[in-house]
Structure formats: C-alpha cells, structure tokens
Structure 1
Amino acid sequence: MKPNSKILFLALAYPKIPKSSNLYTDLMEEFRNQGHEVFVVAPALNNHEVGLIEEEGIQVIRVKTLPLLNVNPIRKGIANVLLPFQYKKAIKKYFQSTTLDLIIMPTPPVSLVSVAHWLKQRYQSNLYLILRDIFPQNAVDLGLMKKGGCLYNFFRKKEKMLYEIADEIGCMSQGNINYVLQHNPKIKIKKLHLLPNWQKEIPQFSGDRMGLRTKYHFNDNFVIIFGGNIGLPQKLENILAVAELFQPHDKVLFFIVGQGTEKAKIERLIHEKRLQNVIIKDAVPREDYQNIISVADCGLISLHEDFTIPNIPSKSMSYFNAKIPIIAAIDMNTDYGKHIQEEVKAGFWAPSNQPHFIKEKIDLLRSNPQLCKEMGENGYQYFIHHVTPAHSYDIINKRVE
C-alpha cells in the first residue's frame, strides 16, 4: 500500500480514544501511525456529537443510529437493517473526497455490505474484510434465528455477497478458514488468510499489587477473572455451575467485569444460588481493567456449548498482556482450545457444559504457581511477537499491495 493512502473503516462500535478503546481503535491508530489518512464511520456515542469529528488524528464520521448493542434481538435487528441507509447518507454528506484507496469492514454486521459495495464501485477501491463473526449462523446456534427462515435467508444472502465482493478476507484461525470454505464452496480460496486478533500492549502494572487485590476483595483467593460482554454467546451460567463446585475453604473467587444483555440474569442467579465466591462489576476503562487483570491469577474464556462455528475470543489478548494463564470453557467446534493449550501453551481448556472438567483444570493451575507463571510468560511472548496492531497492519498491508 502506497504511503499516505486514504483508508475508510466501517465500524459497528468505535469508542472515543483515549477515554476507551477496542481492537479496532488500536488498528486504526496503527494505520494513522504508519502515515495514512484514516476515516472511520461509526455510530454516534451521544446525540450531541454527530457529524465529522477529529479524534486523535483520525477523522470519525459519527452517525445517529438506533441502539445496536446490549438490546433485545428484535431492536438489534431493526437497527442493523436501517444502518446501511444511515451510513450511506452520512458518508455522502461528510466524506468529501475524490479518492479512496482501501475500505476495511469487520463483521459484525453483514448488513453494511451494500455500503461497502457502493464505496468500492464509486472509488474503485479494494475491500478488506475482517471476519470476526460468522452471521447469521451464530444467531442460529444461539436459538435467535431459524435456519431457512425468511430472516435467515435475508442475512445469508448478504453474507454471501460480502464474501464475493471482498478482495481479501482475514480470518481469526485456520478453523475459521475451513468453516468458510466448507459452507461457501464458490468462494475464491486465495482471498482467505489468517488475521489473528490483536491488541496494543499496555504497560505492566507496577503499583501496589496487594493494595489493588485488597481493594477488589481478592485477598488470598485464587482469582479467576472474566472481562467483556455478558451475553448469550458467553453463557456464564456454565461458569456459575463451576463456582458451585468450590467450597468457601477452597479460596477460589470468580470476578466478572462487564455489561451485556444477560447481566441482570447472571446477577439474579448469583443471588438465588447464594454464591459467595462470585463478584460481578460494571465495565471499567481498559487500562484500569488491565491493572485488575494483572493482579488476578487466571483469565477466563467462556463460550456457549452450542456454537458450531469456530470462535476465537479477543479477550485473550488482555490475559496475554497481563502474563496470566487462561482457562477456556468452550464448545467442541472451535480450534481455540488447541491454540491456547498446544500451540501457545498459555492455558487449559475444557468443554463449557462440563463443570467438573473445568474445575479440574482450575485445580491444576491453583496447585501449581510455577506452571501459572510459565503459561503466563508463554502467552505474553506470543502476544508481543505475533498479535500487536503492528503485526495486523503488516498482514493487511501485504495483502492489499
């Protein structure tokens, strides 16, 4: 890609830097740092900031939309159907340029395919697809959509179109690549390649570790932390079943940080089950969260057991960064378990609907501090050498040259 290229990123969630961040803000900052002119189209964070706004050297077109996150499936579906019309209108108004070198679009959502196609034709640009959500099949897996129904067929048609018009498709794992090829035999194989999840490195916590542990009531417990979305895909009911297996004298504490559609339900279950070894907190800024992770003992991944698509959770990056081992309670169809346990050697996995097996893995870690340290270091070395935004930028840049 030539220097000073003009990049337009179609985002579903783009927090305001530096107040907050996610993997896409990290990537766009890397494109900016490499000298490119970066534009982002994203939902407005409030009604007072709509239009073209410069945010940390990045031109962000904030669009007024219906709520897209943490809402029920019907409202979310309506919002996603309206999204391409709202984005196209905003781009026409605020993107005053005669050239555009590269369009980058992640999934979700597939509904923006019409916007991407329109931009691609208008500017004769390349389209790079970051495949992070295989929809609508994931909705079918979670019981939110009927396979073969009108809604499924509508979104499946858009998914196929997206694969067709994309020039390059970056997938999270080899399992992702195999799945896409198996279910989309007409796709050009050469488009598909590995683009693992990424995150910029956050400096290691150097403050009072014991003070921070005391602040969050970690004390002398073996603390297993979960951070991120609390929704149907995570099915944290499975983790509560594991927590029930531990007695108070076991000194094992599950610490959950986040928001999501299932949070109220999980809080109610914690109360009903009278679980004294589970603490649930609201989301915190990523750097604060990273400090909390750094004084925990283990990072937790939880995926619904009914998934048929290979999911690779991005929250692993925070655990790698903090040098803590990972316990992955996951479905049997993802290749994440093999990746984390055999390739990176940064943790253990067990089927998410088998609490006794998950408990065995936790017991193995908490009885072996040296193993925890080694796995944490393995994860960190993998992180800094393979999955920073600079690595992701290099992959994308080489594919679109």
Structure 2
Amino acid sequence: MRLLLIVDSYPPDTLNAAGRMMRELADCLIEQGHEILLVAPSPSIAAKFELVREGELSVLRARSRPAKGQSHLARGLAEIGFPVKLWSALSQTDWMRNSVDGVVWYSPSIFFGPLVAWIKWRYRAHAYLILRDIFPNWALETGTIKRGVVALALRAIAELQYLVADTIGIQAEKDGDYLSHLPPEKIQVLPNWVSKSREAISPPDWMQERWFTDNEIIVMGGALGPAQDPDVILRLASRLKARPTAIILIVGDGDRSAFFEESRRLGLENIVIKPGLDGPDFDLLLAKAKLGLISLHPDLRTQNVPGRFLSHLNAGLPTVASLNKNSQLFELFQQSQCGIAIASGDDDGFYEAAIRVLDHPKEREFLAANAKLLAKRFQPAEAARSILNRLGP
C-alpha cells in the first residue's frame, strides 16, 4: 500500500516522542513492503517545502511558523496553519500524483482534520487517527485552559478529526470513556511503541563532564508542562539536596525557562536542564542513568503512557512515578514491577521510593529485568499490524 503519515513535529526540528514513534512506525511499514511518505511542518527550512529521502523513507517538510516552545496563542495560530501548509506542499509533489491507499496521522495536533478529509475525498483513502493526549480534555482537567468559548471551539475542532477518522487508536481502554458518543467499532486500543535505536555516534560533550560521570543521574525526559506537574520534581529535588551525589537531569525540547528560574530561586543546584536528544543519544543517557522519573498531574484522567517511559523500559531503567492511583499506568506499574508508582500528592513516598532504588543495586536489577520484559509488549511491529488491519488489504 501507499501510505501517508502525518505528524506535527519531526527531527531535526524537535526530538520528541511523536516524531520518533512515527519514524519507527514508518520503518516497520517499509520493511513490510509498503511505500511511505511522512509529512510534517517545519519552522527551519528556507523553501516552502522540502522533499528528501531518509533511507527508504520519503519525508516532506512544509515551512510553517514555530509552534513548540511558544505561548499558547502563538502555538495555536501556528497549528491552525498546519493543514494549509501541508496541503500546499502535498499538492506540488509527484508522490501525490498516484494513488494513496491510507493516511495515518498523530494527534496532537488536533488541527489536521480538514487535511485528512481532503485526502480521503481525493483518493478514497482510509484514515487512521493515532490519538494520544486527548485535547482539550487534559488541558481542562489540569487548568491549563478555562471552560468557555475557546474550549468549545477547540473541542469542535477535535470532534472534526474524530468524524474524519475511520479508526481511532487510543492508548488505553479507559480513554474510550471520552469517545463514548462515537460508534464503538470505530475505536481500537493502540498502545504507544518504541524500538531499539542504533548506536550513538557522537553523544553530547556534557556526557563526559564530571558532574555527569561522577554522580547518580536521575533522568526525566520529554515534555515538562502542566500535565507533568513539575512542582513534584521541584519538591523531590529539594529533598534530594541532602544527597549531594544525586542529580536530576531534565532532557527535552520546549520552553523550560520558568521551571529553571523557579529551581534557581529555590536554590536547587541539583537540577540540570539540557536540550532534547535524538534516539541513540537518549538511549545512551538512559543506559548511564540510575533512575528514571515520570510525573503526571493528579487531575489528569486521560490515560497517558509517556513515550519516554517506553524508552526507560527498553533501556531497562528502573522508574519511579508520581501518578493518579486510578490510572491504568499506575496499574501497569503495580502489575509489572518495572518500577515504583506512588500516588500523586505523596511527596514522602516519592522521595523514599527514589532513595530506595538508588540505595539497593539488587532491587534495581530486579526492576530493570521486569522493565525489559514489559518492553516486549510495546513494539512498532504490533502497532503496524493493528493499523494495517484497519486500513484494509
């Protein structure tokens, strides 16, 4: 089949989990003999669009305004323009002169609905929505946006993409509660996925610096916004000041300035912030770390299994997590024993779990072995199989 994959960010512009997952999915589909065009907006290219080959994968980048790391207003305006920018680029490529059998797109962003509707109409293609953070629901739950006209407009835009999709892949069964108004046959559970990266060729120089090599590195990767409840990390760092060898390393894209300023105001010199790393470098970091951290806002009811957590599993890195105890991710920790999950708000328990893992090598080995075992359930080949079954023969 000839398949179109759409995502709102892709390397080298960002190094987030969405771009990495879509690349892994594309590689898996190519291995099975399918022809793939991956499409993404890009604020860094000079031309209106750029079509390149990355191995067997064709990648089309369309010039757009920057979205990641911007204010809510600036990000919204940029994302509203994504469908037009991508449509303009696609309509000028030879790739689109032939048939398109299916389109697979990743949300967030919620604004690709009109573009996918055009592709479906033009090519009679099937459409599969990979729905991750259910927006604007999670933003309302965490107080990032308020109920009102803006929230209603965003919900209507999100509903459009649900209407356009033939199948919606959700992370966990409980996420289906948000989509109970849709036909149940339209919904499929599609967990996140991760694969082993190639070996890192030129890791960043700071991995050779003494603050990194001589200390116990505690890693938190990926996004760090309201949904991650960053105050939990600040409170943990404050408790860890009594352990001079413990360093919390925050790695990821986006604007971390407010978090950094607050950490310095509190005198937390044990927090280090670095830009996002590509897959091989991030995996190397995880191999050298002693502990991984996950934190999600206690009011977040959407079932979020962070992509970076799956990287922890693949690397065999024990993880301590602060989570809503009613979430399926909390249940996953309890059942798999890949780490220690603590109920949101239990700062003492979060700190004690971190110390326990750092102090006991045997327990780290036990958790690491379970993490690697659990990682086998989250492979891109399984995701590809599920998606292809819904797209048709």
TM-score, structure 2 normalization: 0.90
Structure 1 residues 77 and 252 mapped into 2: Cα distance closer, same or farther (>3 Å)? same
Deviates more, 1:53-62 or 1:43-52: 43-52
> 2:2 aligns to what?
6
Q: Are 2:65 and 1:74 aligned?
A: no
RMSD, aligned CA: 2.6
Q: Is the 8 A contact 1:198 1:387 kept in 2?
A: yes
Q: CA deviation at 1:249?
A: 4.1
> 1:331 aligns to what?
324
Gap regions ≥5 residues in structure 2 = none
Q: Are 2:334 and 1:341 aligned?
A: yes
What does the per-residue CA deviation read over 1:116-135, in whole Å, with 9 as the maximum and x for residues that have no partner? 11111221111111011201
Q: CA deviation at 1:378?
A: 1.2
Aligned residues between the structures: 385
Letter in structure 2 aligned against 1:171: I
Matches within 5 A, 1:93-112: 93-94=92-93, 95-112=95-112
What does the per-residue CA deviation read over 1:104-147, in whole Å, with 9 as the maximum and x for residues that have no partner? 01111121111111111221111111011201112222333222
> 1:185 aligns to what?
180
User: d(CA) in 2 for partners of 1:205 and 1:122?
Assistant: 42
Q: CA deviation at 1:220?
A: 5.8
User: d(CA) in 2 for partners of 1:222 and 1:194?
Assistant: 37
User: d(CA) in 2 for partners of 1:203 and 1:102?
Assistant: 29
Q: CA deviation at 1:387?
A: 1.4
Q: CA deviation at 1:294?
A: 0.5
Q: Find 2:25's aligned residue among 24, 27, 51.
A: 27
Task: Give the percent of matched residue pairs that are identical in Structure 1 and Structure 2.
Answer: 25
Structure 1 residues 333 and 165 mapped into 2: Cα distance closer, same or farther (>3 Å)? farther
Q: Find 2:257's aligned residue among 264, 270, 281.
A: 264
User: d(CA) in 1 for partners of 2:318 and 2:209?
Assistant: 22
User: d(CA) in 1 for partners of 2:243 and 2:295?
Assistant: 25
User: d(CA) in 2 for partners of 1:260 and 1:72?
Assistant: 10
Q: Find 2:343's aligned residue among 351, 375, 400.
A: 351
Q: Are 2:296 and 1:303 aligned?
A: yes
Matches within 5 A, 1:43-122: 43-56=41-54, 57-94=56-93, 95-122=95-122
> 1:124 aligns to what?
124
Q: Are 2:377 and 1:386 aligned?
A: yes
Gap regions ≥5 residues in structure 1 = none
Secondary structure in structure 2 of the residue aligned to 1:217: helix
User: d(CA) in 2 for partners of 1:212 and 1:279?
Assistant: 11
User: d(CA) in 1 for partners of 2:225 and 2:138?
Assistant: 13
Q: Is the 8 A contact 1:204 1:322 kept in 2?
A: no
Secondary structure in structure 2 of the residue aligned to 1:353: coil
What does the per-residue CA deviation read over 1:198-255, in whole Å, with 9 as the maximum and x for residues that have no partner? 112136889xxxx997635245644321112232322322111012123434643212
Structure 1 residues 186 and 142 mapped into 2: Cα distance closer, same or farther (>3 Å)? closer
Q: Is the 8 A contact 1:204 1:294 kept in 2?
A: no
Q: CA deviation at 1:69?
A: 0.8
> 1:165 aligns to what?
164
Structure 1 residues 52 and 258 mapped into 2: Cα distance closer, same or farther (>3 Å)? closer
Matches within 5 A, 1:268-307: 268-307=261-300
What does the per-residue CA deviation read over 1:24-70, in whole Å, with 9 as the maximum and x for residues that have no partner? 11111222222111112211252325424122122222111111111
Q: CA deviation at 1:330?
A: 2.3
Letter in structure 2 aligned against 1:273: L
User: d(CA) in 1 for partners of 2:84 and 2:142?
Assistant: 28
Letter in structure 1 aligned against 2:314: N
> 1:397 aligns to what?
388
Q: CA deviation at 1:155?
A: 1.9
Secondary structure in structure 2 of the residue aligned to 1:248: coil
Q: CA deviation at 1:306?
A: 2.9
Structure 1 residues 46 and 218 mapped into 2: Cα distance closer, same or farther (>3 Å)? closer
